[in-house]
Chains A and B, each alone.
Chain A
């Protein structure tokens, strides 16, 4: 299929994907660096390029609440946020997932206050990782666009029916122009298809009660159905990604393995830093160092068994976390990866964690090289701390 090569910022790319999915309703409240995504989408609405009703709310709490009301009424619903706005939504994030409403939300990842900081890290989305949403992360604008289109299919799938966060790094992806391939509108909508809600509040001839009081005798079972939906999402994400790959030639799996198969040293990274790491890995490979990358794409649900298989047999694993878990043992990605590797049948590789890039601190190739050097040192029997900091003045 012929695709258009365009230069777009990540925000504009996701706005195009949302437009192509023809949502009935979009609710939003501005926050940097999400703002320009909704500016672009509002332009599409103003120019009649998409027939979406906008709800321009007075807070992110209301943005998510209005999205819940709209989606429960059978509307394909989108919204977007970052950082503090995400934190303000937090209560309602759980409701969206528990009520099984497949809202699609762009999360333009930004550090949480305080102190207030508008730049990228993953502390916002990581704070909502247990809210019941599917979380997909992108390395660049192309992936953000592709993930956004796939998000509707994944979330709305009858076996899943869960809301989806389309994560991409603030400024690094959201505000940087990149060349990417776009599917034409008709093909995109043909792929996404119409929203077929299981229930609708607007069916006044068949009234339903949504969100009743749910106490000790049923709540647990309802949570189990949510847990099961996440388990079913693995196959759905695989199938939709395969279909998208056939359509566009861009193939996605639950995670990306970059020069990982024969690697002895493995990096695990999520988000835009994976791109930087690929360049550094290429440098080391030229020098004969067998290093590779596992780029996390689907973080919720977390594909533990597949990641175990991919990392099993590696000499050393280094996990990078762009958020801190205060008082915890390492960052959230590290905790997940390490937990997955506990099941390793052929010995658990040493695993180390680097907390990096908080508040948008630049992560350059030198820093990634520092991590790889440390992994090499560990493989040669040198001791290293389990939890480390990267790119910080000490």
Chain B
């Protein structure tokens, strides 16, 4: 499957302009890129969230494909219903228009995916529906005003875990949802970003091509929630990969593959410095949190390399007898 930029560029946009996304939003870039690969024979479902709110507001819609939104926590179940309807109607020869295949894509933010929608997602993946779930992960509940989610990284300032005199933002590391999805033993799981357009398009094509469920986790740098200049959103996605904060990898039939390895991983602090949500970490006294975050990134990267068979499992350390 080779992604052809020329071909992609000539395809019609299935998410029209004129929607109400923020200036500098990388979410709409993600949606457009996904839809360029998916094409018009696609049914899209949305969890409640920023991209749902900005792309449909009655009587307008930015979607040129069939679209359904019902609630916050149920997009996986909702799309599993539509996908099942497709199979049932096809079997009886009752489809409204003849199609051998229709793509079913459920979109959710990290709130709708990591947190409130996790049960619905897990159920749909386990049931084996022929659908792709795409999480646009901007690492907090941006739609409701930047509250912490289980995808928010350690130390990040949010409205519900703010940096103050005695607290320094979120006190926990982020949840590794991608690996939770791998544990469902579904045929395809991958992580990507909107900077890596070729990687993203390839992964969308692969996810749609597999029989059964697939899951994509796409990092969505958010100018409003992360507090960075509106011009650098896509660059922020690139740097998240260069720092190993957000590795590009895929898991096909259980086999891990790291799709990109930075020649020399960039220091995490360079990336953090550009984001207002981490500003307080650079005040004196918070060096420890920065070090903790860097160590966590390095540790997670090492674990990923081991899973991908690119690094030996370290020998167990001798435990000292008491």
Contact with B along A93-114 (1 / 0, CB 8 A): 0010001000000000000000
| Contact present for A214 and B84 (CB under 8 Å) | no
Chain A contributes a number of interface residues (CB within 8 A of B) equal to: 47
| Cβ 8 A contact of B119, one of A59, A66, A207, A214 | A59
User: Is B8 in the interface zone, CB < 8 Å from A?
Assistant: no
Residues of B within 8 A of A (CB): 40-43, 45, 52-53, 56-61, 63-71, 73-74, 76-89, 91-92, 94-97, 99, 102, 119-120, 122-124, 126-127
Would you give 30 A-B contacts (Cβ < 8 Å), ordered by A? Answer: A51-B91, A52-B88, A55-B80, A58-B120, A59-B120, A62-B77, A62-B119, A68-B78, A68-B81, A69-B68, A69-B78, A69-B81, A70-B85, A72-B68, A73-B86, A74-B96, A95-B71, A201-B43, A201-B82, A202-B66, A202-B95, A202-B96, A203-B96, A207-B65, A207-B67, A209-B56, A209-B66, A209-B67, A210-B66, A214-B57
User: Is A75 in the interface zone, CB < 8 Å from B?
Assistant: yes
Chain A residues lying within 8 Å of B81, measured Cβ to Cβ, are 25, 27, 55, 65-73, 75, 77
| Contact present for B71 and A202 (CB under 8 Å) | no
| Contact present for A205 and B97 (CB under 8 Å) | yes
Residue of A nearest to B90 (CB): A202
| Contact present for A212 and B61 (CB under 8 Å) | yes
| Contact present for A209 and B84 (CB under 8 Å) | no
Chain A residues lying within 8 Å of B64, measured Cβ to Cβ, are 207
Min CB distance B173 to A, Å, is 27
| Contact present for B88 and A53 (CB under 8 Å) | yes
* A209–B114 alpha-carbon span in the complex (Å): 25
Residues of A within 8 A of B (CB): 24-25, 27, 51-53, 55-59, 61-63, 65-75, 77, 91-92, 95, 99, 194, 200-205, 207-215, 218
| Contact present for A202 and B57 (CB under 8 Å) | no
| Cβ 8 A contact of A215, one of B40, B57, B83 | B57
| Contact present for A73 and B85 (CB under 8 Å) | yes
Residue of B nearest to A95 (CB): B70
Chain A residues lying within 8 Å of B99, measured Cβ to Cβ, are 202, 204
| Contact present for B77 and A204 (CB under 8 Å) | no
| Contact present for B82 and A213 (CB under 8 Å) | no
Residue of B nearest to A213 (CB): B57
* A66–B80 alpha-carbon span in the complex (Å): 6
| Cβ 8 A contact of B71, one of A27, A51, A92, A200 | A92
* A77–B95 alpha-carbon span in the complex (Å): 15
Chain B residues lying within 8 Å of A209, measured Cβ to Cβ, are 56, 61, 63, 66-68
Given A69-B77, A73-B86, A203-B97: A213 and B119 interface contact (C-beta under 8 Å):
no
Chain B residues lying within 8 Å of A71, measured Cβ to Cβ, are 81, 85
Min CB distance B121 to A, Å, is 10
Residue of A nearest to B20 (CB): A213
Residue of A nearest to B43 (CB): A201
Chain B residues lying within 8 Å of A95, measured Cβ to Cβ, are 70-71
* A99–B67 alpha-carbon span in the complex (Å): 13
Chain A residues lying within 8 Å of B67, measured Cβ to Cβ, are 201, 207-210
* A379–B245 alpha-carbon span in the complex (Å): 80
| Contact present for B122 and A58 (CB under 8 Å) | yes
Chain B residues lying within 8 Å of A194, measured Cβ to Cβ, are 94
| Contact present for A62 and B123 (CB under 8 Å) | yes
